[in-house]
Amino acid sequence: MASSTSKLAFRIVLAVLLLLALFYVGRPLYR
């Protein structure tokens, strides 16, 4: 049970980091 929960949390953190990276890359291009 613990492993599946940690895997889910890791996936969420990874998704958030990916979104932040896309925001940082897309912001200069948007201007």
Question: Quick check: 13 pLDDT over 90?
Answer: yes
Confidence of residue 31 (pLDDT cuts 50, 70, 90): low
| pTM recorded for the entire structure | 0.62
Domain boundaries, the chain: 1-30
Query: How far from chain centre, in Å, is Cα 12?
Result: 6
Question: Does 15 or 2 have the greater pLDDT score?
Answer: 15
CA distance 25 to 14: 17
- Upper half-sphere CA count for residue 5 (Cβ side, 13 Å): 2
What one-character DSSP code corresponds to residue 24?
A: H
The two structure tokens encoding residue 10: 């890791």
